[in-house]
């Protein structure tokens, strides 16, 4: 058996000014042919699970490409066609099954539904080849995605620590279908709710309850059941929540289960909206909490590169410094120019920098505003580490040339990188000699993924509402393409 195994993943923030070209995929992870298999075979990713199952079955694994880019702006036509073309051309040459590790929220310059278009092309060149797909919890699911594969599932955890588990589940469904042990049929429905990412953590209600209901349906006999939180930072017609179910030969059972999940989720729609708090109020609470020790985690969530943020907005960092909080580690600021200047100065040197604020955000009407800081160059590294935590386990992270700037006699230590990387693993700090467990405060440019590596350390966690293209304040964003009606912009029953 020849099995095509491929990964093509990007979470596209259509409000982000960051260009997602081939270079951005190369910066995070772009591998072709056998190199793709080598890169992911021993990881806790869906692609890793696919490869392990294929090997156990004695199948020939064919990996045209494994590509993922840190979330950002719209994917260029060249990047999309290069990656999709590699997968489609391999399918055209003849395979017996396809296992795809996708995201579900890719938007390209010429294609609004990146995954749906890829699957449509695959069906066109290989109409009878079975296809299984794993998507991210933040997938904006479409009819095209469902119609052009045989079985589809999404992560049930955020942070995404079950990627290999769900990949293995849907691959087993496909292999069982090939062996005549089951006959997968799917039903799906959009849910007219534009949920906010800060309310999708699966350790908390309402997402915990919704995911729990999907798990209950699987335990009752469904092959797979998923509720997608969706990705709200995409101004496309299909943005929003959705439910999809895979049943064994019973289309009515699949549709009944989807209808139940839709009703169950809609009833909790108010809970998917984030409540804002003035940053001054949050910092007052942070100061009191820090008196009892740390780490207290402070989230600069509106500038989260893991959702397409520029990672160089300095407003929240400036507010923390002005508040006088001590023993703070910041992870991380994207500023390659600052790293270059610090490297030229050398470890131990004192340097004054205009840090961050280099990238304008036209979608918000904001120009970049750097922060002038003076500090000591504490560390210079190559920015490379291997993830040891529960999310992306085994993947090598390349932050690019990286530096640590210690300001106010070390009161605040700022990790500065040359590539975007969301801090979901402690390696962001430990790779540059900072022990996060020993800090009073950890200021992270993250939303929920930080929990994978840092939640066990946290004495408390506070969200700091700053500026950025990953804001949870819908009033700051101009949506023009959403399918209406959709909550909270419209009333729904």
Q: Using one digit for the tens of pLDDT, what is the confidence trace for 212-263?
A: 999 999 999 999 999 999 999 999 999 999 999 999 999 999 999 999 999 9
Q: How many helices (H) and strands (E) does the chain have?
A: 14, 20
Closest Cα partner for 279 from 335, 233, 325, 326? 325
Contact 172, 242 (CB under 8 A): no
Contact 414, 330 (CB under 8 A): yes
Contact 170, 133 (CB under 8 A): yes
Give the distance from CA 137 to its chain's centroid: 9
CA atoms in the 13 A half-sphere facing the CB of 434: 33
For residue range 274-300, what is the model confidence (pLDDT) as tens digits? 999 999 999 999 999 999 999 999 999
For residue range 386-403, what is the model confidence (pLDDT) as tens digits? 999 999 999 999 999 999
For residue range 66-105, what is the model confidence (pLDDT) as tens digits? 999 999 999 999 999 999 999 999 999 999 999 999 999 9
Pairwise CA distance, residues 478 & 456, whole Å: 37
Cross-strand partners of 414: 330, 405
- The confidence score (pLDDT) of residue 398 equals 95
Pairwise CA distance, residues 177 & 137, whole Å: 25
Determine how β-strand 29-32 pairs with β-strand 65-68: antiparallel
Pairwise CA distance, residues 50 & 53, whole Å: 5
DSSP one-letter string for 326-382? -SEEEEEEE-HHHHHHHHHH-TT-EEEEEES--S-BGGGTB----EEEEEEEEEEE-
Instruction: List Cβ neighbours of 434 (8 Å cut-off, separation of 6 or more).
Output: 329, 404, 413, 415
Query: Which phi and psi angles does 486 have, rounded to 5°?
Result: -150, 135
Cα angle 228, 185, 209 (rounded to 5 degrees) comes to 30
pLDDT interval class at 108 (50, 70, 90): very high
- The confidence score (pLDDT) of residue 225 equals 98
Q: Residue 463: pLDDT above 90?
A: yes
Q: What is the average pLDDT across 24-42?
A: 95
Pairwise CA distance, residues 452 & 162, whole Å: 11
Pairwise CA distance, residues 36 & 126, whole Å: 22
Closest Cα partner for 432 from 423, 395, 441, 440? 423
- The confidence score (pLDDT) of residue 329 equals 98
Closest Cα partner for 53 from 13, 96, 3? 3
Q: Residue 475: pLDDT above 90?
A: no
E strand intervals along 104-207? 131-135, 151-154, 184-191
- The confidence score (pLDDT) of residue 29 equals 85
Cis peptide before 206 (omega within 30 of 0): yes
Domain at 2-272, CATH homologous superfamily: Response regulator (3.40.50.2300)
Closest Cα partner for 211 from 224, 192, 221, 196? 224
Q: Is 487 helix (H, G, I), strand (E, B) or coil?
A: strand
Pairwise CA distance, residues 166 & 158, whole Å: 13
Look at the block and give the residue holding tokens 């529960």: 390
CATH 3.40.50.2300 residue ranges for the chain: 2-272
Q: Residue 493: pLDDT above 90?
A: no
Pairwise CA distance, residues 123 & 92, whole Å: 10
Q: Quote the percentage of the chain above a pLDDT of 90.
A: 98
Q: Is 32 helix (H, G, I), strand (E, B) or coil?
A: strand
Q: Residue 271: pLDDT above 90?
A: yes
Contact 188, 146 (CB under 8 A): yes
Q: Residue 474: pLDDT above 90?
A: no
Pairwise CA distance, residues 329 & 189, whole Å: 43
For residue range 124-169, what is the model confidence (pLDDT) as tens digits? 999 999 999 999 999 999 999 999 999 999 999 999 999 999 999 9
The chain-wide mean pLDDT, for the chain, equals: 97
- The confidence score (pLDDT) of residue 413 equals 98
397: which 2 tokens?
A: 């992270």
Q: What is the average pLDDT across 465-480?
A: 94
Closest Cα partner for 391 from 446, 462, 461, 464? 446
DSSP one-letter string for 269-318? GGGGSPPP--HHHHHHHHHHHHTT-SPEEEE-GGG-GGGT--S---HHHH
For residue range 317-358, what is the model confidence (pLDDT) as tens digits? 999 999 999 999 999 999 999 999 999 999 999 999 999 999
Cis peptide before 295 (omega within 30 of 0): yes
Q: Residue 459: pLDDT above 90?
A: yes
Q: Residue 48: pLDDT above 90?
A: yes
Q: What is the average pLDDT across 196-204?
A: 96
- For residue 73, what is the DSSP state? S
Contact 51, 31 (CB under 8 A): no
pLDDT interval class at 26 (50, 70, 90): very high
Give the distance from CA 111 to its chain's centroid: 20
């Amino acid at each position: 058996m020849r099995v095509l195994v491929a990964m093509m993943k990007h979470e596209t923030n259509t409000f982000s000014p960051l260009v997602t070209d081939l270079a951005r995929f190369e910066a995070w992870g772009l591998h072709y042919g056998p190199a793709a298999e080598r890169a992911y075979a021993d990881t806790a990713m869906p692609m890793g699970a696919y490869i392990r199952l294929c090997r156990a079955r004695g199948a020939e694994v064919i990996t045209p490409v494994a590509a993922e880019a840190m979330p950002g702006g719209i994917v260029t036509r060249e990047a999309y066609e290069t990656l999709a073309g590699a997968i489609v051309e391999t399918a055209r040459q003849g395979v017996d099954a396809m296992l795809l590790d996708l995201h579900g929220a890719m938007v390209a310059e010429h294609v609004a539904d990146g995954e749906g278009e890829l699957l449509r092309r695959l069906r066109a060149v290989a109409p009878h080849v079975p296809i299984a797909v794993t998507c991210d919890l933040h997938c904006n699911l479409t009819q095209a995605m469902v119609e052009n594969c045989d079985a589809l599932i999404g992560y049930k955890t955020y942070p995404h620590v079950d990627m290999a588990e769900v990949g293995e589940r849907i691959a087993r469904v496909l292999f069982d279908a090939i062996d005549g042990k089951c006959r997968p049929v799917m039903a799906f429905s959009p849910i007219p709710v534009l949920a906010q990412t800060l309310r999708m953590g699966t350790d908390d209600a309402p997402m915990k309850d919704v995911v729990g209901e999907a798990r209950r349906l699987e335990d009752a006999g469904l092959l797979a059941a998923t509720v997608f939180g969706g990705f709200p930072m995409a101004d496309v017609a299909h943005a929003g929540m959705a439910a999809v179910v895979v049943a064994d030969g019973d289309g009515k059972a699949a549709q009944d289960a989807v209808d139940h999940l839709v009703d169950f989720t809609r009833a909790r729609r108010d809970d998917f909206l984030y409540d804002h708090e003035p940053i001054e109020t949050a910092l007052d609470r942070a100061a009191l909490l820090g008196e009892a020790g740390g780490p207290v985690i402070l989230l600069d969530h509106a500038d989260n590169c893991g959702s397409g943020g520029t990672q160089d907005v300095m407003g929240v960092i400036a507010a923390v410094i002005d508040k006088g909080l001590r023993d703070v580690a910041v992870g991380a600021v994207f500023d390659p120019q600052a790293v270059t200047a610090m490297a030229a100065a050398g470890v131990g040197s004192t340097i004054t920098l205009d840090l961050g604020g280099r990238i304008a955000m036209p979608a918000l009407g904001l120009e970049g505003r750097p922060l002038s800081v003076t500090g000591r160059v504490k560390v210079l590294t190559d920015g490379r580490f291997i993830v040891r935590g529960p999310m992306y386990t085994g993947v090598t992270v390349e932050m690019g040339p990286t530096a640590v700037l210690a300001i106010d006699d070390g009161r605040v230590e700022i990790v500065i990188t040359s590539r975007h990387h969301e801090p979901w693993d402690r390696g962001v700090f430990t790779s540059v000699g900072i022990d996060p467990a020993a800090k009073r405060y950890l200021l992270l440019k993250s939303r929920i993924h930080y929990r994978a590596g840092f939640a066990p350390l946290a004495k408390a966690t506070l969200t700091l509402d700053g500026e950025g293209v990953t804001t949870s304040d819908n009033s700051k964003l101009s949506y023009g393409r959403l399918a209406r009606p959709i909550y909270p912009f419209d009333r729904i029953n």
